[in-house]
Chains A and B, each alone.
With several copies, the nearest count.
Chain A
Amino acid sequence: MNFGLTEEQELLHSEARKFLEEQSPLDEVRRTTSNPEGYCPKQWKTIAELGWTGLVIGEKYGGAGLGWIDLIVVLEETGRALFPSPLISTLIAGSTIADFASDAQKERWLPGLASGDEIGALALLDDASAPALGAAKPRATRDGDAFRVSGTRLHVIDAPNATSILIAFTDDTDALHLAYVPAATAGITVEPRETVDRTRRIGHVTLANLRVAPEDVLASGDDAQRVLESTLDRGAVATTAEILGAGTAIHAMTVQYAKDRVQFGSAIGRYQGVKHPLAEMYVDLESIRSLLYYAAWAIEEKPEDAPLAASRAKAFATEAFTDIGVGAIQLHGAVGYTEEYDVQLYLKRSKWARPAFGDEIHHLERVARLGGL
């Protein structure tokens, strides 16, 4: 029984933090996100060399061969730094392919995803409250042994930068299929959309008579349901890791402010009206950490627990982070909502994180259902 990080994981943790503090401080983040692509290809190359893009991909495909705990350790830090990159989507695409695809598909995609040459995206969600389990909206007709797929997916994270995309569609027998396809294929259009949180890029993905060859299909029927559900759980857990990092950062900034800011002769952190909300945020962050660690562990070690664990983590984290964002701004007073002060960047991140991979409404209902209601 050991519910903590290994020494290697602690090391990975502190190296990731050190790297991001040095290479991507928040003023650098502000510069990067004002570029059209919203991330820095050079930094992307560097983190790929550090092994981050291939964290959970086996060594035989050029990955680091590590596990989901290592993955969330890194994502906690990218969340803390608000590091702008398509890392989450690429990691989850790689993780799903590594765990569920055929050997040929692994050969085809994993080396590129591990090296960072491929950037992934997951065009799976119907809407945030109800991720597309069951019949997916894009529909397919048969074209020989291939499919022709048409339909639209909205607000797809990292789509504008993706080189390959995971899609879900149903055929004329209402069977679900998952396929991984190059983004540059004829029949795929990505329309970039503006976002409140400039550190993330999203886009609407339209499939118009897209040809999906048999070798593109990862899973079909019940298998596809299982893979889709697991992929969405991975997305929820990865998002929770970034929430933990971002929430910890905004909390630390606010604690520091409460120590430094003097009003009526005392640091404002002395007053219980400031101290107690900060204590409650701490309790929430500790709880997010616990729920997250368990969910990440379950993905690999106890998959039957993963759906409930992932939904608990994302539901709790979503609500807590929403409150932490608003509370931190309030405790800062006027300075908190100036453009210049970094705390607002995290408030905007909380707006992004809420619907990502299912909002609290979706995940609470799932917790209720899996809990026997």
Chain B
Amino acid sequence: MDFHYTAEEEAFREEVRAFIAEHNIPEDEHEDPDALEGWHQALIAKKWIGFSWPKEAGGGGGSLIEQFILKEEMSEARAPALGSDFMGLTWVGPALINHGTEEQKQRWLPDLLNCRSIWCTGYSEPDSGSDLASLKTRAVREGDEYIVTGQKIWTTLAHKAQWIFMLVRTESADRYGGITCVLIDMKSPGIEVNPIPNLVGDHSFNQVFFNEVRVPVANRLGDEGQGWRVVMGALANERTGISESTTMVQQLDRLKDLARRATRGGRPALEDPEVRRQIARFDCRISAMRLNGMRHLTHQLKGELPGTETSVNKWLRGPLEIEMHDLALGLLGPEAVEPGDWQRTSLVFHGTVIGGGSPNIQRNIIGERILGLPKD
């Protein structure tokens, strides 16, 4: 066991810190396109967008430990995201690298790495939430084209994306084997995007309708029927939960600040042992998330298959979000009825939690794939 870093790793960390010192932008400008443009250009110059991708694909070829250091420092500094296109970099790039033809890579990867495209991903459908493989959107081949008809839901950023990376059904009988991955131009005739505002009125989700949309067969990624494998493979380099734990630490710091100025039963909240214990419990659990992530990273470094370990941290996060918000709103007291930061996140954090798969799914994965209990 050794938490020390090599001299090269320490040097890389210093390089990241220097970069942040020079280029980081304040949190309230994270939505400002001009500020972000400079940030992105600096990242592109470093090849830190697509840092984990191999150099021959135009990526940074960063080692696992370097990726970890980069992400850790960025979260600590509350820096903007590593690129403008989360979906594209998380799903589309790795899938193209693993399954794309040379032509496909040439066509899409450079824009991805240079922040010149925005992708959305089409997995969920109205009747298939946790149960992705029950998707029904169908693609029927006609010559050199697929005719795609169906609908996707919860499609983040579909109203801004140029492309959608999505799963369609090319054969109906086979649950997994009938699924194919296609990349579709969002300007194609027959696509209609309807916003789904969330409970505080923000628009990030959409419903996307496909009415006989014509998609060149050249836009198919992988073979017909390989879609499930293409998408699941992109998950191989899944999150360790370490940067999530950094976010949670920052949230805990805000909660401590709130506790320092709040009252509880007429006395300063910090004189209430229950408040202190609750915060301490959050601290322990966040620390566990971070260290679980480190053990997971160690397994990755040793070349062991990542498997299902991320479910552990995903499950830890849900109750943590709920309980931290519960305490925060309690500390706010009557002020909790007015709009504010904690009030807002107490309404929308469910999205974060559900976004990682419903809590029941995480527990099923642990129970069935790790503990070997029978499937329900």
Contact = CB atoms under 8 A, between A and B. Distances in A.
Contacts of A316: 281, 284-285, 288
B74 to A, nearest CB: 17
A274 B336 contact: no
A158 B294 CA distance: 36
Contact of A312 (B197, B287, B335, B371): B287
A283 interface: yes
A193 interface: yes
Interface string A247-260: 00000000100110
Interface in B203-249: 205
B302 interface: yes
Interface in B340-358: 343, 346-348, 350-351, 353-354, 358
Given A4-B299, A282-B371, 5 more contacts: A6-B1, A274-B360, A278-B367, A279-B367, A373-B256
Contact of A267 (B2, B266, B374): B374
A21 to B, nearest CB: 21
- Give chain A's interface secondary structure class: helix
B4 interface: yes
B333 A128 contact: yes
A315 B280 CA distance: 9
B363 A276 contact: yes
B129 interface: yes
A8 to B, nearest CB: 12
Interface stretch (A77-85, A229-237, A330-338): A330-338
Q: How large is the interface on A (under 10, 10 to 19, 20 to 34, 35 or more residues)?
A: 35 or more
B337 A355 contact: yes
A1 B198 CA distance: 41
Nearest to B353: A330
A330 B199 contact: no
Contacts of B335: 155
Contact of A291 (B270, B291, B338): B291
Contacts of A365: 265, 273, 276-277, 280
A361 B265 contact: yes
Interface stretch (B49-57, B102-110, B181-189, B322-330): B322-330
Contacts of B68: 1
Contact of B1 (A69, A283, A354): A69
Given A269-B373, A330-B354, A155 B334 contact: yes
Given A283-B315, A291-B287, A355-B337, A326 B281 contact: no
B285 A4 contact: no
A1 B334 contact: no
B180 interface: no
A301 B205 CA distance: 48
Interface in A1-47: 1-6
| Closest 3 pairs between A and B when the two form their complex, measured CB to CB | A290-B291, A287-B288, A269-B373
B343 A351 contact: yes
